[in-house]
Amino acid sequence: MSEIDSLKQRIKELESLLEKERESHKSEIERVKTDNYDALEASQTRYQGELAIQRENFQRQIEKLKSQLQSFQV
């Protein structure tokens, strides 16, 4: 019976270890998801900033071209 008890104890230890590993991986996956989300959010913010700058530059170019066009029409 001691061999059976020993095996049962070993099974319990392995199950406990497996559960700890699951929890460890679960928290690691959550951390990675959070990091990825934060990086995506930062990337979107930079992209939106770039778009705003480009739009302002295009607006300036349009105004400049309109001004030049008006000077030819005079």
* DSSP states along the chain: -HHHHHHHHHHHHHHHHHHHHHHHHHHHHHHHHHHHHHHHHHHHHHHHHHHHHHHHHHHHHHHHHHHHHHHHH-
| pLDDT value at residue 13 | 96
Domain of residue 26: give its range: 1-74
First to last CA, the chain: 109
Instruction: Count how many domains the chain has.
Output: 1
Global pTM value: 0.54
pLDDT tens column, 9-67: 999 999 999 999 999 999 899 999 999 999 999 999 999 999 999 999 999 999 999 99
